C-alpha cells in the first residue's frame, strides 16, 4: 500500500521502503504493483533514498472484487489467530470481527484488544501481497452476543454438532444481495447455549464435514468454500 500518493507519483516510506530495498533488493527502474486507496497500479521505481522509495505510476491493474463476506472469528491462540487473519485476507474476506465466546481462554480475551493493531498490520501486509486494493476491516473485539446482532442477509454458524446442513447448502440460499456473515468458534467449539442463541437469532447452523478441524483451519476452509461458491 502506498504511503504517499500525489497524482501519478507514489512513495513507500519507513519499514515499507526498507523491506523493498533490503529484502527484495529493489533498484531504480524495477516495476512493482502498488496498491493505492482505490486501485492497484503498475509502478516503476524512479528514486531510492534512506527510508523512501518513489514510483511513477502507470496503468491500473484489475483487482479482484472483494465479496461482501464478514468473518466472525472467536479469539483463539494468537499465533493461530494471526495465521487465520493472514490467509483469510489473501482469500478476499471483507471484514473480520474477533469475538469473545464462552470457551475463549480468559487471558486471550483480556489481551485481545491490545493485539488489534498487530492484526491490522498483518491484514495490510497480506492485502499488499495478494494485490488487494485495500485490506479487510478488522473490528475491535466484541462479545459474541453483540456480534450475533450484526445485520446480514445470510448468517451462517459453523458447528461440529451439525450433521445435516453443509456449508455449501447454506450458501446456496444467498440471493446475491446484502452481506454474508460466517461465524467460526473457538478451540473446543461453541457451547450448547451459544448454539441455541445462534438458532434463536436466525442463524443457519452448518458443517464442513465429519472431520474435526482446528479453529484457524475451519476459518480458512470456510472462507475458501464460501468465496468459491460465490464465484
State pLDDT tens for residues 85-97. 999 999 999 999 9
Q: Parse the chain into domains and list their residue ranges.
A: 4-61, 69-230
Confidence of residue 11 (pLDDT cuts 50, 70, 90): very high
Res 57 pLDDT > 80: yes
Report the alpha-carbon distance of residue 192 to residue 198 in Å, rounded.
10
User: Is-same-fold flag (4-61; 69-230)?
Assistant: no
Average pLDDT, stretch 9-34?
88
- What value, to the nearest 5°, has the Cα angle with vertex 198 and ends 194 and 203? 160
Is 112 exposed, middle or buried (CB count within 10 Å of its CB: 0-12, 13-18, 19+)?
buried
Confidence of residue 63 (pLDDT cuts 50, 70, 90): low
Res 228 pLDDT > 70: yes
Confidence of residue 64 (pLDDT cuts 50, 70, 90): low
**109 vs 175, higher pLDDT:** 109
Res 180 pLDDT > 80: yes
Confidence of residue 18 (pLDDT cuts 50, 70, 90): confident
* pLDDT, tens only, 122-164: 998 898 778 777 889 999 999 999 999 998 999 999 998 888 8
* pLDDT, tens only, 200-212: 999 999 999 888 8
- CATH for 69-230? 3.40.1280.10
- Total residue length of the chain: 231
Q: What is the DSSP code string of 15-67?
A: HHHHIIIIIS---TT-EEEEE-SS-EEEEEEEEEETTEEEEEEEEEEP-PPPP
Give phi and psi for 149, each to the nearest 5: -85, -10
Q: Give percent above pLDDT 90 in the chain.
A: 68
Report the alpha-carbon distance of residue 91 to residue 20 in Å, rounded.
24
Q: For position 65, what pLDDT does the model report?
A: 59
Average pLDDT, stretch 14-26?
85
Q: Which residues contact 88 (CB under 8 A, 6 or more apart)?
A: 71, 73, 96, 136, 219, 220, 223
> Whole-model pTM above 0.85?
no
Architecture of the domain delimited by 4-61: Beta Barrel (2.40)
Amino acid at each position: 500500500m502506498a504511503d504517499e500518493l500525489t497524482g501519478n507519483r507514489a512513495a513507500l516510506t519507513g519499514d515499507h521502503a526498507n523491506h523493498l530495498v533490503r529484502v527484495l533488493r529493489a533498484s531504480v527502474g524495477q516495476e512493482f504493483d502498488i496498491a493505492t486507496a482505490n486501485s492497484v497500479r503498475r509502478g516503476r521505481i524512479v528514486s531510492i533514498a534512506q527510508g523512501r522509495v518513489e514510483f511513477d505510476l502507470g496503468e491500473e491493474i484489475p483487482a479482484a472484487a472483494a465479496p461482501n463476506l464478514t468473518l466472525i472469528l472467536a479469539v483463539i491462540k494468537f499465533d493461530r489467530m494471526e495465521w487465520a487473519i493472514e490467509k483469510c485476507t489473501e482469500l478476499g474476506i471483507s471484514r473480520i470481527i474477533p469475538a469473545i465466546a464462552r470457551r475463549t481462554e480468559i487471558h486471550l480475551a483480556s489481551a485481545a484488544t491490545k493485539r488489534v493493531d498487530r492484526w491490522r498490520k498483518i491484514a495490510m501486509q497480506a492485502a499488499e501481497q495478494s494485490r488487494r486494493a485495500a485490506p479487510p476491516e478488522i473490528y475491535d473485539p466484541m462479545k459474541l452476543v453483540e456480534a450475533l446482532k450484526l445485520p446480514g442477509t445470510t448468517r451462517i454458524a459453523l458447528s461440529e454438532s451439525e450433521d445435516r446442513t453443509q456449508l455449501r447448502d447454506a450458501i446456496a440460499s444467498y440471493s446475491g444481495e446484502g452481506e454474508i456473515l460466517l461465524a467460526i468458534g473457538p478451540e473446543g467449539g461453541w457451547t450448547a447455549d451459544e448454539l441455541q442463541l445462534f438458532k434463536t437469532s436466525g442463524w443457519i447452523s452448518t458443517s464442513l464435514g465429519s472431520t474435526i478441524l482446528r479453529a484457524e483451519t475451519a476459518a480458512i476452509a470456510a472462507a475458501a468454500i464460501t468465496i468459491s461458491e460465490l464465484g
